[in-house]
A = this chain, B = another copy of it.
Amino acid sequence: MTHVRNETVELSLNQATTRPYPLTETAEAAMQAGIRHIGLWIEPVEEIGIVRTRRLLADTGLSVSSVCRAGFLADKGGADLRAALEGVKRALELSREVGSPMLTLIAGGLPAHDRSIQHAEVRLRAAIEEVEPYARDAGVRLALEPLHPLFVGTRSIVTTIAQALRVTADFPADTVGLLIDAYATSWDSRFHDDVLAAGPRIAGYQVSDFALPLPVPENMNGRLFPGDGEIDLAALTASIRHAGYSGPIEVEIFNEDIWKLPLETIIKRTVSSFNRYVGEPLNESERQPA
């Protein structure tokens, strides 16, 4: 099997997009579709173990673009914080073992007793300071991901690229970077300026599409295939690349309806929507394995 390298934009399949399917099946199907990169989630890797995961990656030729996700630190103190920090360290080790260049770091929300985002930022910085040497030792970059403002209280006090840059400013860019998700940040009138300001701190980039209404009971699961919503992914992606990011671009979709589709259908639509709305289209010969 040979791959013709697409010099411009390479798709990575984030495993969330095919969440109901086992990692082994997803990896095989991705390979069959000509995909060369995968974003792994911790739980499915732990399910089959590091050794089998590495063998699967070798067999399918997939490289790991990221491991998702650890953190949820900003709302915690005491024993809860210690446990969460240990979780980040374990996730860094797992990321190293599967050959991932980075680990997605989610800030965490606000504790009930203190709704100050400023205080939470102080706690978050202190927590990153503790795990940053482990990231350096592991050779795995922590990638702080701003989430959509909807989730400020429950999942991430970090909601903009500018804020993520502020939080990470005192850390070396090669150990603490940013993961920029188009769905979470496309609303921001500062997107293009802040992406350029982020420059070499951009560790990764994820795409999906946005439309209202968000579904219940889980408002998070309204993500769509590129092109099915209102985000100008071509413009956002151009800024990301202009800022110097040249790594794989992950398609990461949370959507109950999409998860009901057959695995091959999800992957086929991932590739076609990515090629049409995010990356330069591949030639047919490039898209199929030889």
Alpha-carbon distance A231/B116, docked complex (angstroms) = 10
Which residues of A in the span 169-214 have a Cβ within 8 Å of any Cβ on B? 186-192, 210, 212-214
Known: A187-B149, A187-B152, A188-B159. A115 touches B230 (CB 8 A): yes
Contacts of A217 in B (CB 8 A): 213
Neighbour of A187 across the interface among B159, B191, B219, B235, CB < 8 A:
B159
Known: A163-B189, A189-B121, A189-B157. A150 touches B115 (CB 8 A): no
Q: A110-B230, A153-B187, A216-B216 are in contact. List 7 more A-B contacts (CB 8 A).
A: A115-B232, A150-B212, A158-B189, A163-B190, A213-B214, A213-B216, A214-B219
Q: Chain A: how many interface residues by the 8 Å CB criterion?
A: 38
Q: Is B216 touching A116 in the complex (CB atoms < 8 A)?
A: no
Q: Is A218 touching B210 in the complex (CB atoms < 8 A)?
A: no
Among A188, A192, A212, A235, chain B packs the most CB atoms within 10 A around the CB of A212
Contacts of A118 in B (CB 8 A): 189, 192
- Cβ-closest 7 pairs across A and B: A115-B232, A149-B187, A152-B187, A153-B230, A117-B189, A213-B219, A163-B189
29 contacts between A and B (CB under 8 A): A115-B235, A117-B189, A118-B189, A118-B192, A148-B149, A149-B150, A150-B150, A150-B187, A150-B212, A150-B214, A152-B187, A153-B210, A153-B212, A153-B230, A157-B189, A159-B188, A159-B189, A160-B188, A160-B189, A163-B189, A163-B190, A212-B219, A213-B216, A213-B217, A214-B214, A214-B216, A214-B219, A216-B216, A219-B219
| A8 CB within 8 Å of chain B | no
Chain copies in complex: 2
Which residues of A in the span 126-140 have a Cβ within 8 Å of any Cβ on B? none
Alpha-carbon distance A217/B212, docked complex (angstroms) = 9
Contacts of A6 in B (CB 8 A): none
Among A192, A210, A214, A215, chain B packs the most CB atoms within 10 A around the CB of A214
Alpha-carbon distance A154/B213, docked complex (angstroms) = 11
Alpha-carbon distance A118/B157, docked complex (angstroms) = 26
Q: For A115, give the chain B residue with the smallest CB separation.
A: B232
Q: For A159, give the chain B residue with the smallest CB separation.
A: B187
Among A187, A218, A231, A232, chain B packs the most CB atoms within 10 A around the CB of A187
Q: Is B115 touching A149 in the complex (CB atoms < 8 A)?
A: no
Q: For A219, give the chain B residue with the smallest CB separation.
A: B213
Q: For A114, give the chain B residue with the smallest CB separation.
A: B232
Give min CB distance, A160 to chain B, whole Å: 7
Among A152, A189, A190, A215, chain B packs the most CB atoms within 10 A around the CB of A189
Contacts of A186 in B (CB 8 A): 152
Which residues of A in the span 101-119 have a Cβ within 8 Å of any Cβ on B? 110, 115-118
